[in-house]
Amino acid sequence: MKKLLALLLTAVMLLALVACGGNNTGNNGGNDTANNGTSDTGDTGDAGAVDIKIGVICVHDENSGYDMAHIEGITTACEELGIDMANVTFKYNVAEDQKCYDAAADLADSGCDIIFSDSYGHQAFMLQAAQEFSDVTFVACTGDQAGVAGQSNFKNIFPYTYESRYVSGVVAGMKLKELMDAGTVTDPKIGYVGAYPYAEVVSGYTAFLLGIQSIVPEAYMEVQYTNSWFDLTKENETALALMENGCVIIGQHADSTGAPSAVQAEHEKGKEVYSVGYNIDMLSVAPDAALTSSQNVWSVLYKATLEKFIAGEEIPADFACGYAMGAQTISALGSACAEGTQEAVDAAWAGIKDGSLNVFDTSKFTVDGKTVDSYEVDFSIIDFNTGDVVFEGPVVNVIENGVFQESVQRSAPYFDLRIDGITELN
Amino acid sequence: MSTVRHSEPLIRLVKRDGISRSKSWGIRIAAVLLALLLSGLFIYSVTSLNPVDVYKAMYEGALGTTRRRWITIRDAMVLLCISVGLAPAFKMRFWNIGAEGQILMGGCVTAWCMLYLGASLPTPALIVLMAVVSIAAGALWGILPAIFKARWGTNETLFTLMMNYVAIQITSYCVALWENPSGSNTVGIINQQTNAGWFPALFGQTYALNVVIVLVLTVGMFAYLKYSKQGYEIAVVGESHNTARYAGIKLSRVIIRTMAISGAICGLAGFLAVSGVDHTISTNTAGGRGFTAIIVAWLAQFNTFIMVLIALLLVFLQKGASEIASQFNLNDFASEVITGIILFCIIGSEFFINYKLIFRKKKGGAKA
């Protein structure tokens, strides 16, 4: 009796589910009209409002500085374009696996016209969804395959992060110079908490060191990877280890406040150490030790993309822009910053804007003791396990007029040269 | 004559001898209703949203569209598979909290097959091979703690837990080995171009094969535990080791055999997760489901058919929770509180099924 009842109940429940699942057209149609009905009432109310539905897939939620930057970016862009936030659906804590495809497909089902994802690892799943929903545009932020994937409704956007990295390096350089002039520091050693040994990270820390070297030419750097984008404890420990090694300034390309907190703690013990953050203002966790943070202004990229989308223009497969368009900034300077820092920062921004300052000027760095005259990058996407070419891309010499042309051939960074003066510890 | 007056406590707990089926289900349903009421209060007091809207959103999130229904079924099937795997071990009172590791090991060997044999073997053969190796890998991860338990009486709770960490480390090593593109620390979608080693669609449904495999296991495990001699041995060992010995049951053999089965099915769940759902491997492939499945198995009292309901309920709550987060811009934590309240009430209801409360009677009733 007991098992019979259980069996029956189960069978009924499963049947009901599967039956509903199989009934493709009937149920779906019903739901779609229901959904449209609710959203339409909102739209028709104020004529002239932009009538598009946007989906956003976030790898974490507002507790992560990185995702917060994206959430704010979308919100600002929508405000400026007059898009009602009721038309924007966020999906939070979407891991970089099948769940991303599920989320993307679900957003497309619910009638989204354009769908963004904020993390690199979402890309493959966004592409998969793009192949299935050809009338929906999928934008994978920080991705690197759209240019060569040949899927017309699949796009990538990425800001010129290296610019704000460089300028935050200038801030760090000014502080380093002050400390060396005062005689408190003799060894200009920089530490960097990196996430992964990936071009995006390499490009970032190289720009950071070049910014420092523009003030203190003899500065050099040690990089240690945490192999995670977000790991409070590991970033904290890595920063401690670097300070133990004698690093004076700790930069980071990882999303938590682990490193700045560690630097603040050491600073309070009387050690002359300072921190440069990423994404979010670190003054709240390191009021004495934080100098500044390099920041992306994602709203600029979102706005540019949405503007084209609304106007019905072709969105470039790959879009990148920087300070000149307002997509780069650094956070408010900390009280520990050296005198004259603001002026140096302004000068650097001005140089970047008018083109007189190139971050990756080949005369400013060497590889194995030699200046780099030409560097060929293969933009094909290769399956690293089989060695097969997934998407054929061009091979391009990215050094032009004595400058490494970062984020020009493709929005995602490809500067992966290991320049002299930087040591990777792991 | 002096009489010592014992004041009767206001409430007494009495273990029930038995309870009718209708009554026990009545208590469970009351618990669910109470849970909905409580979380409704929570929702209203914290967010001032209409609880009915929130419940409607939960329902929509889990079952609102064809795709969502299939995703709910798909995820429930993986959870169910793990729970079915845990059932014999827990029925034997062998605390196998190593399902996470067993899943990961099954997942790792599956991913290895997809990566290295994807180009040379046809998919049906590959799927059979992956099922076999994942069963073997999971079984190995289950047998090791069982051997130590049977031979030297080691603590299986600690042992299986430690095996999880070993499996996680092996998985991170594999991810580093197979990462694509290099430096990303993810394996990416395996065989995205060729779909080699992916579960084929059955009856036009992508996840139908998942359902078929898991339901076969569910029925099989029910019969195994209920009707087979080995199932009876498991029940006896679970009740008392001494009774089992007295009855001539060879303890060590039953422990090792049962854990091999338990690990094997969990390993198969790893195969299901990698080949049938994710098409990639990461340290999150198990994603805590090895622990959630313990709740499923335990709540169902090892009845695999009840497990179907509970697995569906848990996945329903999970999908509902993320839909609330998305629709009302609530933090995930808020929706997890709701899930927590509902689970708490359901688990709590088991208490009232096993015990009854007796209130002190009004004065007149008491004998002098």
Domains of chain B by residue range: 50-327
What's the mean per-residue pLDDT of chain B? 89
Supply the pLDDT for residue B315. 92
**Residue B1: predicted pLDDT:** 52
User: B190 is written with which tokens?
Assistant: 């395996």
- pLDDT for B218 beyond 50: yes
Q: Which residue of B has its CA nearest to A128?
A: B192
Is residue A347 classed exposed, middle or buried when 0-12, 13-18 and 19+ CB atoms within 10 A define those classes? middle
Query: Which has more confidence, A209 or A65?
Result: A209
Per-residue pLDDT at B197 exceeds 50:
yes
Which residue of A33, A381, A386 to mutate against B (max B Cβ within 10 Å)? A386
- Which of residues 344 through 403 in chain A touch B, CB cutoff 8 A? 381-386, 388, 390
B194/A contact by beta carbon, under 8 A: no
Q: Of the candidates A68, A65, A94, A103, which has an alpha carbon nearest to the alpha carbon of residue A230?
A: A65
Is the confidence at residue B207, as pLDDT, over 70? Answer: yes
Q: What's the pLDDT at B366?
A: 46
Tokens of B135: 């069963």
User: Which B residues, 302 through 321, put their C-beta within 8 Å of a C-beta on chain A?
Assistant: 303, 305-306, 308-309, 312
Task: Please give the model's pTM, rounded to 2 decimal places.
Answer: 0.79
Among B68, B185, B226, the residue with its CB nearest the CB of A106 is B68
Query: How far is residue A361's CA from residue A357's CA, in Å, rounded to a whole number?
Result: 8
Flag whether pLDDT at A30 surpasses 80: no
- Give yes or no for residue A351 having a pLDDT over 60: yes
Q: What is the pLDDT of residue B46?
A: 82
State the pLDDT at residue A46: 42
Cβ of A102 and B66 within 8 Å?
no
Confidence of residue A34 (pLDDT cuts 50, 70, 90): very low
List the one residue out of A328, A361, A360, A362 whose CA is nearest residue A345: A328
Q: Do A98 and B180 make contact, defined as CB atoms within 8 angstroms?
A: no
- B301 CB within 8 Å of a chain A CB: no
Q: What is the pLDDT of residue B5?
A: 67
Residue of chain B minimizing CA distance to A12: B309
Q: Is the pLDDT of residue B263 over 60?
A: yes
CB contact under 8 A, B183 and A198: yes
Domain annotation for chain A: domains and CATH numbers: 49-157 (3.40.50.2300), 161-296+332-424 (3.40.50.2300)
Mean pLDDT for A179-203 is 91
Examine the pLDDT at B364 and tell me if it is beyond 70: no
Residues B122-158: pLDDT tens digits? Answer: 989 999 999 999 999 999 999 999 999 999 989 999 9
Instruction: List, in order, residues 6 or more apart from A259 with CB less than 8 Å away.
Output: A193, A235, A236, A238, A239, A250, A252, A275, A277
From the list B67, B185, B312, the residue facing A109 with the nearest CB is: B67
**Given an 8 Å threshold on Cβ–Cβ distance, is A6 in contact with B282?**
no
Q: Report the alpha-carbon distance of residue B137 to residue B125 in Å, rounded.
A: 18
A230-269 pLDDT, tens digit per residue, is 888 999 999 999 999 999 999 999 778 889 999 999 999 9
Residue B109 in contact with partner chain A when CB distance is under 8 A: no
Average pLDDT, integer, range A59-63: 83
Is the per-residue pLDDT at A23 higher than 70?
A: no
Residue of A nearest to B194 (CA): A390
> A122 to chain B nearest CA, in Å?
9
Torsion angle of alpha carbons A401, A403, A407, A409, nearest 10°?
Answer: 30
Query: What is the mean pLDDT of the segment spanning B303-331?
Result: 88
Return the number of other C-beta atoms located less than 10 Å from residue A420's C-beta.
12
Q: Do A93 and B332 touch (CB under 8 A)?
A: yes
Q: What is the pLDDT of residue A362?
A: 92
Who has greater pLDDT, A1 or A88? A88
State how far the Cα of B186 lies from the Cα of B167, in Å rounded to an integer.
17
B66-91 vs A24-45: helix crossing angle, rounded to 10:
120
* Nearest C-alpha in B relative to A94: B322
Question: What pLDDT is stored for residue A423 in this prediction?
Answer: 93
Q: Which residues of A touch B184 (CB under 8 A)?
A: 120-121, 196, 198
Mean of the per-residue pLDDT values of chain A:
85
Enumerate the residues of chain A whose CB falls inside 8 A of the CB of residue B303.
3, 6
Show residues of chain A in contact with B186, CB under 8 Å. 96, 121
Instruction: Tell whether the model's pLDDT for residue A345 goes beyond 90.
Output: yes
What would the pLDDT profile of A264-322 be if each residue is shown by its tens digit? 999 999 999 999 999 888 888 899 999 999 999 999 999 999 999 999 888 889 899 99
CATH topology of domain B50-327: ABC transporter involved in vitamin B12 uptake, BtuC (1.10.3470)
Question: Does residue A137 surpass a pLDDT of 50?
Answer: yes
Which band of pLDDT confidence, cut at 50, 70 and 90, is reported for residue A41?
very low
Distance between CA A239 and CA A229 in Å, rounded? Answer: 15
Contact A384 B279 (CB under 8 A): no
Residues 129-168 of B with CB under 8 A from A: none
Please give the average per-residue pLDDT across A141-169, as a whole number.
92
**Position B356 confidence tier, pLDDT thresholds 50, 70, 90:** confident
Q: What is the CA radius of gyration of chain B?
A: 24
Read off the pLDDT of residues B76-87 as tens digits, 9 standing for 90 and up.
999 999 999 999
Instruction: Please name the residues between 9 and 38 in chain A that touch chain B, using a CB distance below 8 Å.
Output: 9-10, 13-14, 17-18, 20-24, 27-28, 31
Contact B326 A90 (CB under 8 A): yes
A-B contacts at Cβ under 8 angstroms = 119
Q: Using CA atoms, how far apart are residues A83 and A53, in angstroms rounded to an integer?
A: 9
Cβ distance of A384 and B65 shorter than 8 Å: no
pLDDT tens digit sequence for A375-426 = 998 888 877 666 777 788 889 898 988 999 998 888 889 998 999 999 999 8
Query: What local confidence, expressed as pLDDT, does residue A28 receive?
Result: 37
B310: nearest CA in chain A? A10
- A93 touching chain B per CB within 8 A: yes
Tell me the average pLDDT across B245-249: 91
B51: contact with A, CB 8 A cutoff: no
CA distances from A184 to A188, A241, A340, A416 (A): 11, 21, 19, 34
Q: What is the pLDDT of residues B279-293, one digit of tens each?
A: 989 888 888 899 999
pLDDT for position B183 = 65
Whose CA is closest to A325, among A345, A297, A344?
A297
Q: In what order do the strands lie in the sheet with A114-117?
A: A88-91, A54-57, A114-117, A137-141, A154-157, A318-319
What's the rounded mean pLDDT across residues A202-231?
92
The answer to whether residue A92 neighbours chain B at the CB level (below 8 Å) is yes
